[in-house]
């Protein structure tokens, strides 16, 4: 295919607006997969990936005839989730246009807006498409009006389709061919290839997804990576149709996969450029490494299962380099990991996969964020200039006497909601220390809010609360907005004046009392009574801000036995002895692991 007959595009949409269904239809009508019961081919591969056996299905090449000419269409898949903005942008970097898909019933949602801007900022041709027009409640005029108000789209540009029934789907392909420009690439120039994804395949090793910008890449070519200067031989190269089909050659403008005997995905940096050995070209601007924003501890419920958990985590992170992994150790929970994620959904997805890979249960602690603090007189600290440190583990927060400034991570969020719920949403936002930046109507009855939140405030239940306040009608998306000056305190907890260090937390000054009170109450509920009274205290700078007492109690597990059933009695006593083994001792107080789990778990 000459470059003029190639189109590289992507479908972007809010979750459930029909991206997978449309992708399936496109694959079917181009004969890439047989007609009929092909439900969600790209997603099926994704399930395989989740089990760690195959690949990320990021692209598929389709051939389509339009007005008597055959075109090569590369459909580049993007993850549709809130946390994966950076992944969406790197997929979009290999495209010249996007299909912006919107559900004709639900209308424009928060992720639609976020995705639109990612495409818009990269100067891509945007094809607006209304999906699900077969639905009885579809409101095409209203949604077109929203798109006009938000994206400056004209009515006659908008395609109206039903991906499910197949109507209008041909027009999507025609629009891609007619409206999306062909890639600006030259196959006569020296090779310049752009790596937009890489993953580890259990059988084949590292596989990269490449867009060939200039020149030709062939099997057997020796190529060099711009960032590392390392040279490899291409052992296999081809297109995704929709699975890997070797073609031995990729020309400028084409998108496909390649393998080159790499051992580690770290060698294939996303955003990197490669060229023929000794024929260096100007590399394309790369991508920033994704920085984790949300952190949580992960421990096996049973310490003997630590090795299995470790191997499951190692396996999962092979294909998800954006998870930051460090060993962690807690006297109560034993050996485990502290993991850093891009966001909440990323954390949940990882957690779910871990459960699939590893059936024993893991304890995940409540998530926290990374704070930055300015240290008086401190030298040689690397982050943020010499006098800033990053605090991840609350126990390692320095003495407040030497801290002169506290900074916390913020997010810019978009909320789209029916106007009826504005008051309750505003209340929720203020309650979470949100700062309302903007509020505008996107049609007669729906409003878009822009709210700046401290990331720590949306970590727990925010989305659930928003959904329940609005009967599920509001949508929410957010992105990183840097750091803001704030007031933080370290809250620690004591049982009979002994510090329980795994419960130490950092929170906003205004939240300290409420948080301390909640934790003390939970401890009171979960720490079993002992033969003496236990005082439970929450403290800030040695000052008690919350307290509870656990009354003394003479524990007699056999009291529950009716009469003299001796075997039952021995069994219970044995059970009690076993229980004791799992206790953490704070001074002379035995605390079952369960208590920690209940307090720490999100
Ligand atoms: P994705 O999350 O964007 O990939 O959305 P899916 O393709 O998984 O679709 C979400 C749901 O919408 C599924 O239950 C589909 O069957 C349904 N759906 C997709 N397109 C249409 C359509 O054109 N009409 C109707 N009625 N339902 C659709
Ligand atoms: Mg899908």
Helix (H) or strand (E) holding 476: strand 475-486
pLDDT, one tens digit per residue, over 264-303 is: 877 887 778 999 999 988 887 666 666 788 898 888 878 8
Ligand nearest to the CA of 39: 1
What does the DSSP assignment read for 372-384? EEEETT--S--TT
CA 45/CA 29 separation, integer angstroms: 19
| Cβ–ligand 1 contact at 39 (below 6 Å) | no
Say how many C-beta atoms besides its own lie within 10 A of residue 414's C-beta: 21
Q: Which of 66-70, 530-534, 582-586 has the lowest average pLDDT?
A: 582-586
Q: What is the pTM of this model?
A: 0.78
Measured from the Cα of 21, ligand 1's closest atom is 7
Digit-coded pLDDT (tens) for 228-259: 899 999 999 999 888 889 999 999 988 899 99
In the predicted structure, residue 48 carries a pLDDT above the cut 50 = no
**Residues 113/95, Cβ–Cβ less than 8 Å:** no
From atom 2 of ligand 1, which residue's Cα is the shortest distance away? 16
Q: What is the dihedral of CA 279, 280, 285, 289, to 10 degrees?
A: 100
CA distance 100 to 516: 46
Nearest-atom index, ligand 1, CA of 165: 23
Contact (CB, 8 A) for 19 and 88: no
82 closest CA partner among 280, 348, 335: 348
Q: What would the DSSP string read from start to end of 207-255?
A: EEEEEEEESEEETT-EEEETTT--EEE--EEEEESSSEEE-SEEETT-E
What's the 489 CA to ligand 2 centre distance in angstroms? 42
| Mean of pLDDT over the chain | 84
Q: Would you say residue 438 has pLDDT above 90? A: yes
Work out the angle at residue 154's Cα, subtended by the Cα atoms of residues 151 and 157, and round it to the nearest 5 degrees: 105
What is residue 94's predicted lDDT score, i.e. its pLDDT? Answer: 81
C-beta 21 within 6 A of ligand 1: yes
Residue 172 Cβ contacting ligand 1 at under 6 Å? no
* pLDDT at position 116: 92
Q: In this model, does residue 50 exceed pLDDT 80?
A: no
Q: How many whole angstroms from 161 Cα to the centroid of ligand 1?
A: 12
Section 572-589 average pLDDT: 62
Q: Enumerate residues 6+ apart whose C-beta is below 8 A from 548.
A: 520, 521, 523, 524, 535, 536
Angle CA 407–299–590, to nearest 5: 100
SS3 (DSSP) at 500: coil
């Amino acid at each position: 295919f000459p470059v003029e007959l190639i189109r590289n595009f992507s479908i972007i949409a809010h979750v459930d607006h029909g991206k997978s269904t449309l992708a399936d239809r496109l694959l079917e009508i181009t004969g890439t997969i047989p007609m009929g019961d092909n439900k969600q081919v790209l997603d099926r591969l994704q399930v395989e990936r989740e089990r760690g056996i195959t690949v990320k299905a990021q692209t598929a090449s389709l051939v389509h005839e339009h007005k008597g000419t055959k075109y090569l269409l590369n459909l580049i898949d993007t993850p549709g989730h809130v946390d994966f903005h950076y992944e969406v942008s790197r997929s979009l970097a290999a495209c010249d246009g996007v299909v912006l898909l919107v559900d004709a019933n639900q209308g424009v949602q928060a992720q639609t807006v976020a995705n639109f801007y990612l495409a818009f900022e990269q100067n891509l041709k945007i094809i607006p498409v209304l999906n699900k027009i077969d639905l009885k409640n579809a409101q095409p005029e209203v949604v077109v009006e929203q798109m006009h108000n938000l994206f400056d789209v004209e009515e006659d540009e908008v395609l109206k389709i039903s991906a499910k029934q197949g109507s209008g789907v041909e027009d999507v392909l025609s629009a891609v061919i007619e409206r999306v420009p062909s890639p600006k690439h030259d196959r006569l120039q020296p090779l310049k290839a752009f790596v937009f994804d890489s993953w580890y395949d259990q059988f084949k090793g590292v596989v990269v997804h490449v867009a060939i910008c200039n020149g030709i890449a062939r099997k057997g070519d020796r190529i060099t990576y711009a960032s590392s200067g390392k040279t490899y031989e291409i052992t296999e190269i081809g297109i995704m149709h929709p699975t890997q089909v070797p073609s031995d050659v990729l020309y400028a403008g084409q998108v496909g996969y390649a393998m080159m005997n790499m051992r580690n995905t770290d060698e294939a940096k996303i955003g990197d450029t490669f060229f023929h050995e000794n024929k260096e070209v100007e590399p394309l601007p790369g991508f920033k490494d994704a920085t984790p924003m949300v952190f949580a501890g992960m421990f096996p419920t049973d310490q003997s299962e630590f090795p299995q958990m470790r191997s499951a985590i190692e396996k999962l992170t092979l294909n998800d380099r954006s998870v930051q992994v460090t060993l962690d150790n807690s006297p109560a929970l034993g050996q485990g990991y502290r993991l850093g994620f891009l966001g909440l959904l990323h954390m949940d997805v990882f957690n779910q996969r871990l459960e699939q890979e590893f059936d024993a249960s893991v304890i995940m602690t409540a998530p926290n964020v990374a704070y930055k603090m300015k240290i008086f007189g401190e030298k040689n600290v690397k982050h943020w200039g010499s006098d800033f440190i990053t605090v991840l583990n609350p126990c390692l927060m320095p003495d407040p006497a030497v801290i002169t400034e506290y900074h916390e991570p913020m997010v810019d969020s978009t909320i789209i909601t029916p106007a009826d719920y504005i008051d309750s949403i505003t209340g929720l936002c203020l309650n979470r220390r949100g700062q309302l930046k903007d509020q505008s109507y996107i049609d007669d009855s729906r409003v878009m809010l822009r709210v700046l939140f401290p990331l720590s405030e949306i970590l727990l239940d925010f989305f659930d609360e928003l959904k329940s306040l609005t009967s599920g009608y509001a949508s929410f998306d957010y992105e990183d907005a840097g750091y803001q000056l704030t007031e933080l305190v370290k809250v620690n907890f004591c049982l009979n004046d002994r510090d329980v260090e795994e419960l130490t937390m950092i929170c906003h000054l205004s939240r300290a009392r409420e948080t301390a009170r909640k934790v003390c109450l939970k401890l009171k509920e979960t720490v079993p009574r002992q033969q003496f009274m236990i005082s439970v205290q929450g403290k800030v700078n040695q000052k008690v801000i919350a307290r509870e007492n656990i009354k003394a109690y003479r524990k007699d597990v056999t009291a529950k036995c009716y009469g003299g059933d001796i075997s039952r009695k021995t069994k219970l006593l044995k059970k009690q002895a076993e229980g004791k083994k799992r206790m953490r001792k704070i001074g002379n107080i035995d605390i079952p692991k369960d208590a920690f789990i209940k307090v720490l778990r999100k």
